[in-house]
Amino acid sequence: MIKVENLVKKYGNNYAVKDISFTVGDREIVGFLGPNGAGKSTTMNILTGYLSSTDGYVEIDGHDILEDSDAAKRSVGYLPEIPPLYMDMTVKEYLNFVYDLKRCKLNREKHIMEIINVVKIEDVYNRLISNLSRGYRQRVGIAQALVGNPKVIILDEPTIGLDPKQIVEVRNLIRTLGRDHSVILSTHILSEVQAVCDRLVIINKGKIVADKPTDEITASFTGSSRLEAKICGNSKEILSAIRGMQGVAKAEALAGHEIDSTTFIIESSPGVDIRKPLFAMLASRNWPLIGLTSLGMNLEDVFISLTNDPTKSPTKAISRK
Ligand code: ADP
């Protein structure tokens, strides 16, 4: 449905997007994820036709965005981070206005009724937008993206500023949209993509650092198991003994230890359970083990490890499961 090949966007001598390629399939919900300044908005603005690229090829529903830009634009419904709403219009007036603006050819009444049904705004249809809650305004924003029934829906940070109940409702709505549309969801909220997206494209400094099904991205980082062990004794000697154990891929002592104990992060090779040999080794050396916790990586850890400066402390990427 969407094909992006070797897309480049430069501002002066700086790359906002540096040679990225990805595809989005029919009825696929793809999370577009990355820290601030990664190039997400730039890419989305190119896909929606608001911005021209420096180089590369973009195709939407078979339409080249340069050669066939009107048809490509018609294939995309866009909800920017700040929805383009007119506060002094009612929902009804606004959706009719968008219908005219997009020169929609579908049956007006029927089409608008279908949309308000999908996004569940029937009960505020005749209300002024200025009087609506943020959650409802966001729904109206999604409704305007659906006018013209585009095959692709692009949502930029759609749950920002919503309360937890509204967030759940909007996420459910996005899942519903995924049944009939291809959806790109740009966000920095990891629980959101985990809850909603089939696949993740992670972008950092203008480049794609991961492009995989959501489950695979987290699973690829949980092949080796990690432990947090609190041990009493000389930390240097303990660390060297742990590093010497068979099946230990990596071990580190955390800074800022307590008076007579140190916390170690121990990563074992894939498929190896290091706990029993670790206990036996420590007992044989008379180093009391006073705490042992299994650590796993969640998406947040994966994200940090994929987008972080490798010179920064790896222990930041650790969390309890
Ligand atoms: P994101 O949406 O992931 O936060 P952006 O796409 O907004 O990232 O920005 C990517 C990079 O391009 C950033 O370094 C940003 O400073 C730069 N950039 C974005 N827009 C402009 C612009 N109009 N002029 C110059 N640099 C820009």
Return d(Cα 319, Cα 33) in angstroms, integer: 20
Q: How far is the centre of ligand 1, averaged over its atoms, from the C-alpha of 50 (Å)? A: 14
Return d(Cα 206, Cα 15) in angstroms, integer: 7
Residue of higher predicted confidence among 42 and 309 = 42
Q: Residue 199 in 3-state DSSP?
A: strand
Is there an atom of ligand 1 within 6 Å of 18 CB? Answer: no
Q: Shortest CA distance to 225 belongs to which of 295, 280, 289?
A: 295
Residue 270 has pLDDT above 60, yes or no: yes
Q: Which ligand 1 atom sits closest to the C-alpha of 41?
A: 2
Angle between helices 134-146 and 164-177 (to 10 degrees): 10
Q: How far is the centre of ligand 1, averaged over its atoms, from the C-alpha of 202 (Å)? A: 16
pTM tops 0.85, yes or no: no
User: What is the reported pLDDT for 299?
Assistant: 64
Return d(Cα 210, Cα 106) in angstroms, integer: 39
Residue 318 has pLDDT above 60, yes or no: no
Return d(Cα 41, Cα 51) in angstroms, integer: 10
Chain centroid to Cα 26, Å, comes to 19
**Residue among 10, 36, 41 to mutate when testing ligand 1 (max atoms within 8 A of CB):** 41
Q: What tokens were used for 188?
A: 């920095």
Give CA angle at 126 (122, 131), nearest 5°. Answer: 100
Q: How far is the centre of ligand 1, averaged over its atoms, from the C-alpha of 18 (Å)? A: 12
- What is the number of residues in the chain? 321
- Residue 147 neighbours by CB under 8 Å, 6+ apart: 77, 95, 98, 99, 102, 104, 111, 112, 115
Q: Whose CA is nearest to atom 15 of ligand 1?
A: 37
Q: Whose CA is nearest to atom 23 of ligand 1?
A: 11
Q: Write out pLDDT tens, residues 71-118.
A: 999 999 999 888 889 999 999 999 999 999 999 999 999 999 999 999
Distances (CA, A) of 104 to 48, 63, 109, 120, 243: 17, 18, 12, 21, 67
